[in-house]
Amino acid sequence: MSLPVAPKPALRRFHQARWDEPIIFELSTPGERGVLVTPVEPGVRAAVGDVVGDLPDGLRRSAPPALPELGQMRVLKHYLRLSQENLGADLNVDVGQGTCTMKYAPKVNDQLIATPDLTALHPLQDPDDAQGVLEIIWQTERMLAEISGMDRVSLHTQGGSAAIWANIAMIRAFHEANGEGAQRREVITTIFSHPSNAAAAKAAGYEVITLHPDPDGYPDLAALRAALSPRTAAIMVTNPEDTGIYNPAITEWVDAAHAVGALASYDQANANGILGITRARDAGFDVCHFNIHKTFGTPHGSGGPGTGANAVSEALAPFLPGPRVEREGDRFVVREAGERSIGSVGPFFGVVPNIVRAYAWIMALGAEGLRAVAETAVLNNNYLMTKVLEIPGASAPYATGRRRIEQVRYSWQELFEETGITSEEIGVRASDFGMHYWTSHHPYVVPQPFTLEPTESYSMAELDEYAAVLAEIAREAREEPETVRSAPHRQTVHHTHHDDLDDPERWAITWRAYRRKYFGAGAVGGAGSGDAAADEVAA
């Protein structure tokens, strides 16, 4: 065939990398070294002697740890191959992980934080030697105070759920300080709020009441009023909820909570569509948190580190975690938390590289930019909803005929009833097109759910591509369902059997446990690479 090249087909002919790498222990070759350690100087050795030999018998390790032995390039190659077998947000149209705001994390921010001025800074150095980072922490807190409308902010927590924990810990301390700790034993949340609101409240000792929405999917104010009592410590709610529906009665919710002496805690994991539009404080909330890794553009790190920002009213400020960064004249100083603080929620100041990234992200956008983020995220979402609802078998339960904010929890129930193909199966098949797809938190209140959140980061053409993939899989479900059922076909690995994962006798959580359980007590780490039979299954 000669030029010109034929036009591309409508759908991308994706194939994931398939390096068929062994587990790293199988690559071990005795004697190889990946990195050497600086030696003990002769002068030190002369002064201290054989420190390992001098260890008491009980403290000296008898056999070296069975770590693999590999040359440096082989370690690098192994992990680079694994990285190619992973679909980061930078590579796919990552709108399929609703509730998680998989937006672009700007590369320049990764470069900026890589300076030794930050990586090699110890948190207990002289604050005079940390003025740059302290200023960034202080300034980021202030900017988030303005964005939330709250009075004070802490950036100490390392993820959204950690921030939820800090919220409930502060609420608990507040009620105890008022002598109502024993009385207020209940926390009210909603089924479309993140499960950690319920779980963290339980871990903090509370009984959890979970409210379901009204028939049209709106949070049920009457149900809230029926649940509130002098036993209520707090309501902990997300808004917009994971359905993308904004609670129009949110002020009434907060007022109702306050009327019984409870606090109102706002999970702002879904804030991306309302930045600069409406604020937690304006609805009367006492405490809220942002997921910095969601809304403020820091990378998700394969599952963290994230960063949580806890923002509170003056009444809650004494309970914030420490240490605090404060400004004195033109200097920034570190103060230990006060007596009523919940104390430390983690080491030092939180996930500092993410705090600096968030600062840079906000500074790259400003007020106008943040509003453009929100408006575009919402436009993208309503645009994608239009496209998805054109696919036969897809629906968006609740709030029929109304707009959504930044995401939608859809349903394939009609398609499932017609074809027997589940939402999970569609998700596996989506990976064959280089797309990530997620269903929903549990329980599946919406049947056969999927949750899409386009954020502001993806172009119209990319949203079209994602919708086209879903349309194609829906077509396959009707016309060639085995293609969907037997997926994946173009992935690193094939259909995986999960039967061994729930049985304590059979699960293998580490290589050593796997070797012991399946190859006998004497099995050691490196053996076994020979049984990786070559296979020719077409992908």
Min separation Cβ 7 and another protein, Å: 23
Instruction: Kindly give the interhelix angle for 195-203 and 160-177, rounded to the nearest 10 degrees.
Output: 40
Tokens 């902990």 locate to 236
The reply to whether 362 sits near another protein by the rule CB under 8 A is yes
Is residue 24 close enough to count as binding another protein by CB under 8 A?
A: yes
**DSSP-assigned letters across all residues of 308-364:** EEEEE-TTTGGGS-SPEEEEETTEEEEE---TTS---SSSTTS-HHHHHHHHHHHHH
87 scored as a contact of another protein (CB under 8 A):
yes
Minimum gap (Å) between residue 207 Cβ and another protein: 9
Buried b (16+ CB within 10 A) or exposed e, 124-157: eeeeeebeebbbbbbbbbebbbebbbbebbbbbb
- Determine the 3-state secondary structure of 461 from DSSP: helix
Q: Select from 278, 334, 418, 475 the one that contacts another protein (CB under 8 A).
A: 278
6: tokens are: 């034929």
Our finding on whether 251 is near another protein (CB under 8 A) is yes
498 binds another protein (CB under 8 A): yes
| Of residues 105 and 262, the one with the C-beta less far from another protein | 105
Applying CB under 8 A, does 500 fall inside the site for another protein?
A: yes
Of 2-10, 259-267, 413-421, 501-509, the window that binds another protein (rule: CB under 8 A) is 501-509
Cβ proximity to another protein: between 397 and 418 the closer is 397
CA distance 320 to 339: 10
Which residues are CB-contacts of 461 (< 8 A; sequence separation ≥ 6)? none
Judged by CB under 8 A, does residue 202 bind another protein?
Answer: yes
Site for another protein in 474-493 (CB under 8 A): 488, 491-493
Residue with tokens 């926390």: 187
- The H or E element containing residue 449 is strand 449-452
Q: Is 127 in the site for another protein (CB under 8 A)?
A: no
Closer to another protein at the Cβ: 67 or 226?
Answer: 67
d(CA 375, CA 380): 8
Among the listed ranges 98-106, 260-268, 408-416, 445-453, the one in contact with another protein (CB under 8 A) is: 98-106
Tell me if 216 contacts another protein by CB under 8 A.
no
Q: How many residues bind another protein (CB under 8 A)?
A: 227
Q: How far is the CB of 516 from another protein (least distance, A)?
A: 7
Minimum distance, C-beta of residue 521 to another protein, in the bound complex (Å): 12
Shortest reach from residue 88's CB to another protein, in Å: 4
| Residue labelled with tokens 């539009």 | 277
**Contacts for 86 with CB less than 8 Å, ≥ 6 apart:** 302
**In 355-444, which ranges are E strands?**
408-411
DSSP 377-395: HHHHHHHHHHHHHTSTT-B
The answer to the question of residue 315 lying near another protein (CB under 8 A) is no
Which residue, 166 or 477, is less far from another protein as judged by CB?
166
What's the closest the beta carbon of residue 4 comes to another protein, in angstroms?
A: 28
Q: What is the 3-state secondary structure (H, E, C) of 28-50?
A: CCCCCCCCCCCCCCHHHHHHHCC
Residue 364 within binding range of another protein, rule CB under 8 A: yes
Residue 89 or 415 with smaller CB distance to another protein: 89
Q: Quick one: 5 or 162, whose CB is closer to another protein?
A: 162
